Amino acid sequence: MLMSGGLFACAGVADAADVTAKLSSKEAYVGASLTLQIQIQNAEKYELPELPIVEGVEIVREGAPQQSRKVTVVNGRMTQEQSVTFLYRVTPTEAGSFEIPTMNIRADGDVYRTEPMTFVATTSETGDLLFVEIEGEERSVYVGEPIRLTLKIWLRPYRMMDQELTLSDGDMWSMRSSQTEWGEFTKALEEMRGMNQRPGGRSVLREDQNGQSREYYLYEVDAEIYPKKPGKVDAGGVEIVFNYPTEIGPASRRNPLGMGLMFDDDFFRAPFGRPRFAVKKSRPIRAQAEIDSIDVLPIPTEGRPDGYNGAVGEYAIVTQATPQSVEAGDAVKLKIGITGDGPMELVRCPPLSTMPELTADFKVSDQPLPGFVQDNMKVFAPTIRPKHEGVKEIPPIEFHFFNPETESFEVVRSKPIPLQVRASETLQLNSIVSNGDRTVDQDSLNGAGQGGQDAKDSWTASLWEIHTSSDALENVPVRKSLSSWWLLTVWPGLVWLGLVVWQSRGRWMTWLPEWKSPAQKAVLAMQQADDEFAIGQAMAMYLHRQFGSDEESSSWLSGVGGVRAAGGYGLAAEVESFLDRCEREETVIASESTTSIKEMRCRGMALIEQLESFRQQQRPSRKFQAKPISALQSHSVARILAWVLAGASFVSAGNALASEAVEGMALDQPSMAVLFQEANQAYERGMQRLEQSESDAAPKKDSAGNVDSGQAAAKEKFSLAATRYQTLVDAGVENPQLYANLGNACLQSGQIGRAIVAYERALKWDPENDSIRTRLWLARDQVNESTDLALSWKRQAQRAIAPVLFRYWGSSHLRWSVVGFALIFWAILILLRLRTLAPETRRMARSAASFFAVMAVFGGVMWWLAITGVSKESTGYIVVDQVTVRTGDAESFPALVEWSEADGRAVEIAQSRGDWVLIRTPSATGWVPADTVESADATASFHQLPTSLDRLGMLTGTVLFPFE
């Protein structure tokens, strides 16, 4: 057996490499493909063959290489064969005789040459087997006017005369070739395929080329097209190709393992009781579609209005605006919906910049605006800004189109939208300085005299300064709110605690024995015992504590009984004998029992060790605990693994999404520098326009419009700066200075929610920046909060502390003051502990220690309140004025509540699902679109893509409500 096994193991032999090539047939039709097979056998290394170039023939590789391996054992000799097969599609494009030349293929270092292969290609005559026509309902149409066309295909059914069998319309349709060009009917066929349908073929009579009536299958496909240029209707070059059968025979059996042959035939259905048949041979037949003569007329130029942008058909227009109460210069989202019988994909937004009624009171962009189709409506969402206060409505929006029925240009107008435009208010710090009391006297806030006003103006102006240094484009790590400085307040306390412990060491030593276990106490008592009686007392006390069943009894018999009840009969007998001996040895003379005491002490310590081992064994066994513990552990482990895997998948997916987002917004350093400079310039121009409008604010009624117009222009500049800063943030720059700039631009342009998010992210990187914290509270004061979101005492204290620290002291100074107070406090305590102070000084030192302790605690609480003013990671902020909270994550779910003037409102983000987010507030829990909420956590990215597109003016993230 060993010999035969050795021979078997050593007999594995592989044949030498070999290369073969063959064609599936030597005859072909023009346009019909042959299969070229190249097989490389028993080669460890090989190179892909280079395809030859044959004029009039297209050779294309088809699919992945097919690999196979076979092991054969004969008389203990094992032979291995392996092969890799390459398939190529050979298609002649013209009639003639062709030769595929010799190909050189390298395998295992040798070059193998294939034999040349020849084949003949002939043209397949369609004859009267196939006819294709395209019919239209109209004789003439205008450019862009819809026209309905019908593709008609007549195909002769194949008949097997010997079997009296005619292929069905479904079998004949399945023989269409992949070379068919459907032109304008491609979309219609794809829709049918998506619904698992096909054109139905009905049997009709049609005259062939000789004028004789024949049976045909007629297939019809309808499509609606929109001509794009004048002339004749073009259906896109429709050419129908079928692989018409020429020989049909019984289907060959399939491999029982499910493996088909390389040149397997296609099966088709047979009637019940008859064998299945397959196409053995076929030839391609093709026909170009003949289309009726339909003229395409150009759109007339006479009488064409200026606002016409190419729409043909009959249309209606509706509009909607949000919000409807704004300040001059604030953005108003105008939604324009257009419906009609024309192609919605080709409808363009009305040119708003050419409407004088609109541009007189609103600033409108002249850039082309894309839209999206929703429920047979083309929707556009431009942003307009009122130039001044007092605007009462958005004028009707006009949409011009050419009506082919009346052959004239027509116009439709939307209804005017009521609007309230207030004067643009300059941002003030009164609300935050006065701790929310907006009725406080202004003079008391500004200070007495001009000096107080100048001081207020100086620190107020410093809030709106931006960072223009290139350092704002550098990624910086997140600063920890509690850094190593707190060790300065702790280590002196550790020194004082060490002194207390050292000076009280005598008391600690007396307490240490009380912390020992009963076994340790018994062993210690035996080591200190002077006679056998004391040793027995130590054993009895141990038994009573560890095994005694009667707490009131002090006899050792109860403990011995407990050992015996637990199953330790032998051990209980030894302990009982030991205790009896201790009682008997009590009367022995001390000089005669010296050796006996040592033996009894060792024996007692050994018994205690045995009793402890016995107690460990008597605890609930592992076998007894296996089921509940293992089940609990298995559930815990499974749950932990599930969370770990889920977390890993989310992290990897998040990294992938983040990498894609950063890659999509990738900017090099020069590009970021240019964007940063443009943003700074736009912000500074906005501040200049704002200051200019304030300086022009004289007590004249005719200047109010100019002032509001200047403030509107300033807000436009601020909005542009915010867009540029946000682009840098989306590119991956994480810097508190950049976030602070973004917050300033958003707040000045009226984007309260985005300003709050930017300031909170800046404080995450720089938690002690009092200027940013003051601006954060200023932004929060602009929010129209609901009554169920009242500030807690902590938030009220933080709101009051922020401006005080910014104006007078600073969080970092406060932190070091706390450290100083703590060091002085611990130093006094250490001096008092060392007793180095005079008696008359000790009372004063205690008072000073109390004072510095109170100051340190008070300052620490103030500092803690200051740096913890940032919301938790699950907090989000609404970034639109109006939002509808729904009961589910889709527009089809009913509305739960509708919020108006909700920009900046704080919510709790509970869950994200697709394009929707579940939010919670004290009064409502529901779903809102993800692009209406931004998270204070910079790593949250469920909303970034729609938000970025909205900022760039490409589309709006706000949900489109149904038009009334």
Same domain, 611 and 625: no
581 contacts 532 by C-beta, under 8 angstroms: yes
Check residue 390 and give its pLDDT.
85
Indicate if the pLDDT at residue 424 is higher than 60: yes
Q: Which residues contact 423 (CB under 8 A, 6 or more apart)?
A: 327, 328, 389, 704, 707, 708, 711
Instruction: Locate 441 and state its tokens.
Output: 């006297």
Check residue 152 and give its pLDDT.
92
918 SS3 class: strand
> For residue 290, what pLDDT band results from cuts at 50, 70 and 90?
confident
Q: What is the mean pLDDT of the chain?
A: 74
Looking at 422, 450, 466, the residue that finishes a domain is 422
Compute the average pLDDT of residues 544-554: 64
User: What sections of 532-621 are H helices per DSSP?
Assistant: 532-547, 556-565, 569-584, 594-618
Q: Which residues contact 729 (CB under 8 A, 6 or more apart)?
A: 738, 739, 742
Same domain, 143 and 257: yes
Compute the average pLDDT of residues 354-373: 84
Same domain, 547 and 589: yes
Check residue 771 and give its pLDDT.
75
Name the maximum alpha-carbon separation found in the chain: 147
Fill in the amino acid letter for 477.
P
328 contacts 387 by C-beta, under 8 angstroms: yes
Check residue 574 and give its pLDDT.
84
Place of tokens 């007396």: 510
The two beta strands, 933-935 and 925-929, are unpaired
Check residue 639 and give its pLDDT.
45
pLDDT digits (tens, 9 = 90+) for 588-637: 444 455 557 888 888 888 888 888 888 888 765 444 344 443 433 444 44
Instruction: Locate 528 and state its tokens.
Output: 């200190």
Q: Please list the residues that pair with 894 across neighbouring strands.
A: none
Annotate 34-74 with DSSP letters as a single string: EEEEEEEES-SSB-PPPPP--TTEEEEE-SSPEEEEEEEEE
251 half-sphere exposure, CB direction, 13 A CA radius: 16
Q: Please list the residues that pair with 398 across neighbouring strands.
A: 413
812 is a domain residue: no
pLDDT digits (tens, 9 = 90+) for 135-153: 887 888 888 888 889 999 9
707 is a domain residue: no
Check residue 624 and give its pLDDT.
39
Q: Which has more confidence, 900 or 310?
A: 310
Burial-class residue 760 by CB neighbours within 10 Å (0-12, 13-18, 19+).
buried
d(CA 915, CA 907): 17
- Name which of 25-29, 322-326, 841-845 the model is least confident about: 841-845
> For residue 939, what pLDDT band results from cuts at 50, 70 and 90?
low
pLDDT digits (tens, 9 = 90+) for 301-326: 888 888 888 889 899 999 999 888 88
- What CATH number does the domain containing 342 carry? 2.60.40
450 SS3 class: helix
Same domain, 561 and 603: yes
813 SS3 class: helix
Q: What angle do CA 132, 134, 139 make, to 5 degrees?
A: 150
Indicate if the pLDDT at residue 458 is higher than 50: no
Indicate if the pLDDT at residue 254 is higher than 60: no
> For residue 399, what pLDDT band results from cuts at 50, 70 and 90?
very high
d(CA 658, CA 869): 28
636 is a domain residue: yes
Burial-class residue 833 by CB neighbours within 10 Å (0-12, 13-18, 19+).
middle
What are the Cα distances from residue 211, in Å, to 129, 145, 208, 475? 14, 38, 5, 83
Instruction: Locate 910 and state its tokens.
Output: 């509970």
- The answer, yes or no, to whether the previous bond of 323 is cis (omega within 30 of 0) is yes
370 is a domain residue: yes
> For residue 816, what pLDDT band results from cuts at 50, 70 and 90?
confident
Compute the average pLDDT of residues 459-473: 74
Buried b (16+ CB within 10 A) or exposed e, 570-599: ebbebbbebbebbeebeeeeeeebeeebee
Same domain, 324 and 268: no
Indicate if the pLDDT at residue 466 is higher than 80: yes
Q: Which has more confidence, 484 or 291?
A: 291
Same domain, 282 and 203: yes
Q: Please list the residues that pair with 282 across neighbouring strands.
A: 245
> For residue 857, what pLDDT band results from cuts at 50, 70 and 90?
confident
Q: Which residues contact 700 (CB under 8 A, 6 or more apart)?
A: none
Residue numbers of the domain that contains 527: 516-617
Looking at 567, 586, 617, the residue that finishes a domain is 617
Annotate 409-432 with DSSP letters as a single string: EEEEEPPPEE-EEEPPPPP-SHHH
Check residue 125 and give its pLDDT.
74
Q: What angle do CA 865, 871, 875 make, to 5 degrees?
A: 160
Same domain, 524 and 608: yes
d(CA 389, CA 440): 27
Q: Which has more confidence, 935 or 429?
A: 935
23 is a domain residue: yes
Indicate if the pLDDT at residue 751 is higher than 80: yes
Annotate 459-508 with DSSP letters as a single string: HHHHHT----SGGGGS--PPPPSS-GGGHHHHHHHHHHHHHHHHHTHHHH
pLDDT digits (tens, 9 = 90+) for 189-218: 998 888 888 998 889 998 887 788 888 999
Burial-class residue 621 by CB neighbours within 10 Å (0-12, 13-18, 19+).
exposed
Dihedral, CA atoms, 573, 576, 578, 581, nearest 10 degrees?
Answer: -120
Same domain, 290 and 146: yes
501 is a domain residue: no
Same domain, 645 and 543: no
- Name which of 91-100, 419-428, 637-646, 693-702 the model is least confident about: 637-646
Structural domain count of the chain:
5
Instruction: Locate 624 and state its tokens.
Output: 């007894």
Looking at 362, 390, 422, the residue that finishes a domain is 422
d(CA 667, CA 664): 9
Check residue 431 and give its pLDDT.
39
Compute the average pLDDT of residues 648-653: 40
Compute the average pLDDT of residues 466-494: 71
Compute the average pLDDT of residues 853-870: 72
- Name which of 310-319, 575-584, 685-694, 953-962 the model is least confident about: 953-962
What are the Cα distances from residue 270, in Å, to 162, 215, 249, 265, 722? 14, 20, 11, 15, 71
Check residue 810 and give its pLDDT.
64
263 contacts 166 by C-beta, under 8 angstroms: no
Q: Which residues contact 501 (CB under 8 A, 6 or more apart)?
A: 508
pLDDT digits (tens, 9 = 90+) for 882-892: 888 998 888 88
Q: Which has more confidence, 757 or 849?
A: 757
> For residue 252, what pLDDT band results from cuts at 50, 70 and 90?
low
Same domain, 558 and 414: no
Check residue 166 and give its pLDDT.
82
pLDDT digits (tens, 9 = 90+) for 81-102: 888 888 888 988 888 899 888 8
Indicate if the pLDDT at residue 438 is higher than 60: no
Check residue 151 and give its pLDDT.
92
- Name which of 476-485, 497-506, 870-879 the model is least confident about: 476-485
Q: What does DSSP assign to residue 614?
A: H
Kindly report the number of other CB atoms within 10 A of residue 628's CB atom.
9
Same domain, 222 and 322: no
Check residue 302 and give its pLDDT.
87
Indicate if the pLDDT at residue 709 is higher than 70: no
User: What pTM was computed for the model?
Assistant: 0.45
Same domain, 304 and 247: no
Q: Which has more confidence, 910 or 432?
A: 910
Q: What angle do CA 147, 153, 154 make, to 5 degrees?
A: 145
Indicate if the pLDDT at residue 264 is higher than 60: no
Indicate if the pLDDT at residue 219 is higher than 90: yes
Compute the average pLDDT of residues 740-760: 87
891 is a domain residue: no
Compute the average pLDDT of residues 475-494: 66
Compute the average pLDDT of residues 113-123: 87
Check residue 786 and give its pLDDT.
52
d(CA 760, CA 769): 11
Q: What percent of the chain has pLDDT over 70?
A: 73
459 contacts 807 by C-beta, under 8 angstroms: yes
6 is a domain residue: yes
